[in-house]
Structure 1
Amino acid sequence: MAITKARASGGSAVSKAPRGRGRPQARSDDETRAVILDAARHEFASAGYATTNMESVARRAGVSTRTLYRLIPNKSALFEATITDRLDRFASVVRLKACEGSDIEAALCAALIACGELILDSEVIAIQRMILGESEQFPEIADTFYSKAIKRTESTLANWLKAQVKRGLIEIENAEVAAGMLLGMLVFQPQRAVMFGHAPAPDRNEVERRAQVATGLFLRGCAREPT
């Protein structure tokens, strides 16, 4: 047993417990992966696919390349993960926009706002611009974006429409075609304006306005009722 001895001066020594130097709590792999994917989206959008590499993404994310390679094996998988991660969150939001009551107009408008906030996001548009510029050299990135982003966005909205058909709130022949038409009406004009440098990405208010107009046209059309 260790005994604390008195100091030579005769005073009693006071034994102090050692101070803990606790380490900062480490992030989980899921949290680290989210930080990496956010950094990768910025890197791909600003630098392009050819210039972006695993080391530059690791630097932007503030992680070691060893950690990055442990979680995501290569640049191709990293690019795909940035697309699917964003779409996973989008699909969850749209599923939550299910119409609980009979107000199909409010429910559809909310679902379209979620679509618009995804498709008309300035970073998403920048990635599309990058893909168009580099798809000849890297055709796999165009295939990935088409299948994992464009088609999945359409199918997510189509599945939402099918759910409303089953509930008897709307009647449409082909949900996939209707979803494509709705998305085109919602985003085509502002998306092209941004891609060609003629306008900034629309803000939340503009996305909401377009969603309301698209909802009204879809549900009621624009034919003038006879007087």
Structure 2
Amino acid sequence: MPEDKAVENECRPRRGRPVQIDAPTREAMVLDAVGELLGQCRLEDVSMAAIARKAGMSKRTLYALFGSREELLGATFARIGRTIFRPLAPEDHALPLSERLRKLLTVNAMPQFEQAPLELLRAVVAEAPLFPGIAEQFDCEGRGSVITYITAELIVAVDNKEIVLHGMEPGQAAELLCDMVMGNALHHLLTPGAERANDLYEEKRQRRDRAVEIFLNGMRPR
């Protein structure tokens, strides 16, 4: 066969069944689609049909990957939680405790949710009676994940005699610090007019730093 003919045959699209996408890639495509929809729509409008359309696949394929909308949204919130709150990198463990806590309590930005974080929380609360699994996953992978990270760091700090918990359990102390930093979400949920979503970064950073300082002042060995 002449060389130019062989090249032509190699470049020509092959007939037959399309290339199959492996399950992990397909799942990632679905979670990407849900993440985009959550940033654009009300939670109640993020249906399995809407997700399937956004992901470019059939509902049958979607249900083969996730057994229910509740399961799918739970997986999405788990993924969001791993992005917003992250554990320490290996090199961070050598930092002073105050710096380690600040890093754990830093909220990493997700642009698609910056415009409506409280609206999403309100929607999750509204759906909780019918779909408690969604609310539980939302709490577990958000606030719950950072409390878990801080608890582990406080246990290390106690062992290294950096702090004394004065009778508190590490998990209780971690929850106290988390609440000091994050404040009372109920106030913002009940008073929509009090929100100022995008201009509070510096204010939140200052609150985090003050909370960590106050917390550690109360926990230092006497």
TM over 0.5, shorter chain: yes
Alpha-carbon offset, residue 56 of structure 1: 0.3
Output the aligned Cα RMSD. Answer: 3.6
Shift of residue 84 of structure 1?
A: 2.0
Cα deviation for residue 127 of structure 1 reads 2.5
TM-score by length of 1: 0.70
* Same amino acid, percent of matched pairs: 22
* Residue 176 of structure 2 is aligned to residue 181 of structure 1: yes
Q: Distance in 2 between matches of 1:118 and 1:195?
A: 24
Matched, 1:94 2:97: no
Structure 2 CA distance, aligned partners of 1:82 and 1:94? Answer: 18
Kept in 1, the 8 Å contact 2:147–2:174? The answer is: yes
Q: Report if the CA contact (8 A) 2:83-2:108 is conserved.
A: no
| Structure 2 residue identity aligned to 1:38 | D
Structure 2: runs of 5 or more not aligned: none
Q: 1:117 aligns with which of 108, 111, 115?
A: 108
Structure 1: runs of 5 or more not aligned? 5-13, 222-227
Residues 1-227 of structure 1: pairs in structure 2 closer than 5 A = 16-17=5-6, 18-19=8-9, 20-21=11-12, 28-44=22-38, 46-89=40-83, 93-96=86-89, 99-101=92-94, 103-113=96-106, 116-117=107-108, 122=114, 124-172=117-165, 173-189=168-184, 192-193=187-188, 196-197=191-192, 198-202=194-198, 204-220=201-217
For the residues of structure 2 that align with 1:191 and 1:124, how far apart are their CA atoms? 13
Comparing 199-208 with 209-218, greater Cα deviation is found at 199-208
CA distances 1:71-93 after superposition (whole Å, capped 9, x unpaired):
222211101111222334566x3
Quick check: 1:194–1:201 contact (8 Å CA) kept in 2? Answer: no
Tell me the amino acid that sits aligned with residue 128 of structure 2.
Answer: S
- Tell me the matched-pair count: 206
Residue deviations 1:153-178 (CA, integer Å, cap 9, x gap): 32232122212222332222321121
SS in 2 for 1:94: coil
- Kept after mapping to 2: 8 A contact 1:129/1:195: no
Alpha-carbon deviation of 1:124? Answer: 4.8
TM-score normalised to the size of structure 2? Answer: 0.72
| Residues 168 and 57 of structure 1, relative CA distance in 2, 3 Å threshold | same
**CA–CA distance in structure 1, aligned partners of residues 77 and 195 of structure 2:** 24
